[in-house]
Chain A
Amino acid sequence: EVQLVESGGALVQPGGSQRLACAGSGFSFSGYSLNWVRQAPGKGLEWIAYISISGDSIYYADSVKGRFTISRDNAKNSLFLQMNNLRDDDTAIYYCARGSLELDSWGQGTLVTVSS
């Protein structure tokens, strides 16, 4: 069974940093591109970052470019999102999702709350 499990969500002060992780299992982790998608409370889905199989192609949404960094460790079946200079509007559930054109498997998400 394909599983993606996010961790690292927390209450963070504005301007602070947080690192999210996503552990994959039940599939060949190194054979899939991965994404981070977030959902603010009561709002729709917002894609924020993509990383290719080997990590040589990385793309970001404009809303996080320059503040967030996506990375992966295929040896540890793990995906990461380093979030710096967090703002109130970064408050959201953060999901990792497998795939490139279509996102065929999702984790259950981890909540990041940015508030003083």
Chain B
Amino acid sequence: SYVLTQPPSVSVAPGKTATITCGGNNIGSKSVHWYQQKPGQAPVLVISYNGDRPSGIPERFSGSNSGNTATLTLNRVEAGDEADYYCQVWDNSGDHPGVIFGGGTKLTVL
């Protein structure tokens, strides 16, 4: 089945830019969605269809997708952005269609 690979952790200073990657075989041909999950809370969709921001998500959040890597970028990082971030695709390949999540990346704001 399709595998999404994320770095376990990323650290960034406040006000700087954080980049979280999501690797997958030819992921650029798929639509990638990103979720933010803070401790004790349910996940929240922050980027859909590679780079679209749902209503209420700050413009500091952006996404891109090409080749074998999708990227979530957080500009001007704030303490409140500290959370786990997950990438996700819908996989139609093989006999078992379904949702695939990456392993998650813990973003630490220094």
Q: What CA separation (Å) do A44 and B101 show in the bound complex? A: 8
Number of residues from B at the complex interface, CB < 8 A: 26
Contact with A along B74-89 (1 / 0, CB 8 A): 0000000000101010
At the interface, yes or no: A56 with Cβ under 8 Å from chain B?
A: no
Number of residues from A at the complex interface, CB < 8 A: 23
A82 to chain B, nearest CB (A): 18
Which residue of chain A lies nearest to B52 when distances are taken between CB atoms in the complex? Answer: A102
B61-110 residues with Cβ-Cβ distance < 8 A to A are 84, 86, 88, 90, 96-104
Q: Is the CB of B86 within 8 A of A45?
A: yes
B43 to chain A, nearest CB (A): 6
B28-42 residues with Cβ-Cβ distance < 8 A to A are 31, 33, 35, 37, 41-42
Q: What CA separation (Å) do A15 and B39 show in the bound complex? A: 30
Q: Pick the residue among A35, A50, A61, A101 that contacts B31 (CB under 8 A).
A: A101
Q: Is the CB of B100 within 8 A of A47?
A: yes
> Which residues of B are found within 8 Å of A37, using beta-carbon distances?
43, 99, 101
> Which residues of A are found within 8 Å of B99, using beta-carbon distances?
35, 37, 47, 50, 103
Q: Pick the residue among B1, B33, B43, B44 that contacts A101 (CB under 8 A).
A: B33
Contact with B along A37-53 (1 / 0, CB 8 A): 10000001111001000
Q: What CA separation (Å) do A95 and B25 show in the bound complex? A: 28
Contact with B along A9-52 (1 / 0, CB 8 A): 00000000000000000000000000101000000111100100
A-B pairs with the 10 shortest C-beta distances?
A47-B99, A44-B104, A106-B42, A102-B33, A102-B48, A45-B101, A101-B90, A59-B98, A104-B45, A44-B103
Chain A residues with CB under 8 Å of chain B are 35, 37, 44-47, 50, 59-62, 95, 97, 100-109
Q: Can you sample 8 A-B contacts with CB below 8 Å?
A: A37-B99, A44-B84, A44-B86, A61-B98, A62-B1, A102-B31, A106-B44, A108-B42
